[in-house]
Structure 1
Amino acid sequence: MSELPHGVARLAAERGLTGLTPIGGGLEFRVFRAVTPQGTAVALRTAAGHRFQANANDPEVDTRALLTWEHTVTSHLAGHGIPVAAPRELALGDPDVSVSDFVDDDGQGPEPYRLGSLLRRLHGVPPPAARPVAHEGLPTGRLVPRRIARRWREVAARVPDLPAPPPVDRLAAAVAGRPQDRLLHLDVRAANLRCVDGRVHALLDWSNALIGDPALELGRLAEFALLPENGIDVEAVSSGYGDGVPVGSAAAWTYRLDAAVMLAVVFLSEAPDPVRGPRAVDRLREVHDRWLHRTRR
Structure 2
Amino acid sequence: MNLSKERIEFLQKKIYKVLNNQENWNVKRIKFLSNGVVNAVFILEEESRGILIARTPWGLDESNEDVASLIKEATIAKHCFKHGLKVPKVVHLHLSKEISFLVSEYINGDDSFISAADIGHLVSSIHKIPFEGLSIVEQENKSFYHIVSSRIVDRVSTLNKFLSHEIKIPPLKEMETTLSMTNSDHCLIHLDIRTPNIIRYKGEIKAVIDWDNAFIGDPLMELMRILETGDIDIQEFQKGNGNNNFLTSSSRPNSIIYRLDTALMLAILFTTYIKDIDKGQHYIQRSHYLSNSLKRLF
Query: Does the 8 A contact of 1:21 with 1:32 survive in 2?
Result: yes
Question: TM-score, normalization: structure 2?
Answer: 0.86
One-letter identity of the residue aligned with 2:291: H
- In the alignment, the residues of structure 2 paired with residue 246 and residue 292 of structure 1 have an alpha-carbon distance, to the nearest angstrom, of 22
Aligned counterparts, 1:109-148, within 5 A: 109-135=113-139, 137-148=141-152
One-letter identity of the residue aligned with 1:71: A
SS at match of 2:7: coil
- In the alignment, the residues of structure 1 paired with residue 220 and residue 60 of structure 2 have an alpha-carbon distance, to the nearest angstrom, of 34
- In the alignment, the residues of structure 2 paired with residue 149 and residue 180 of structure 1 have an alpha-carbon distance, to the nearest angstrom, of 25
Moved over 4 A (4+): none
- In the alignment, the residues of structure 2 paired with residue 35 and residue 245 of structure 1 have an alpha-carbon distance, to the nearest angstrom, of 47
Q: Hey, what does 1:175 align to over in structure 2?
A: 179
What do residues 249-294 of structure 1 show as CA deviations (whole Å, max 9, x unaligned)? 222221111100111111122223333222221122233344345x
SS at match of 1:2: helix
Question: TM-score, normalization: structure 1?
Answer: 0.86
Q: Percent identity?
A: 24
CA displacement at 1:52 relative to structure 2: 4.2
- In the alignment, the residues of structure 2 paired with residue 236 and residue 182 of structure 1 have an alpha-carbon distance, to the nearest angstrom, of 23
CA displacement at 1:22 relative to structure 2: 1.4
Question: Does residue 1:44 correspond to 2:54, yes or no?
Answer: yes
- More divergent stretch after superposition (189-198 vs 270-279): 270-279
Change (3 A) 1:24 1:131: same
CA displacement at 1:203 relative to structure 2: 1.0
Aligned counterparts, 1:77-116, within 5 A: 77-93=80-96, 94-116=98-120
CA displacement at 1:134 relative to structure 2: 4.1
CA displacement at 1:158 relative to structure 2: 0.6
- In the alignment, the residues of structure 2 paired with residue 107 and residue 215 of structure 1 have an alpha-carbon distance, to the nearest angstrom, of 29
What do residues 126-162 of structure 1 show as CA deviations (whole Å, max 9, x unaligned)? 1153432343752111111111111011111110213
Larger proportion of helix:
2
Query: Does the 8 A contact of 1:23 with 1:33 survive in 2?
Result: yes
Query: Does the 8 A contact of 1:134 with 1:207 survive in 2?
Result: no
Change (3 A) 1:49 1:180: farther
Q: How many residues align?
A: 283
Query: Does the 8 A contact of 2:152 with 2:261 survive in 1?
Result: yes
Q: Which runs of 5+ in 1 are unaligned?
A: 54-60, 226-230
Q: Which runs of 5+ in 2 are unaligned?
A: 1-5
Query: Does the 8 A contact of 2:169 with 2:294 survive in 1?
Result: no
Q: Hey, what does 2:14 align to over in structure 1?
A: 7
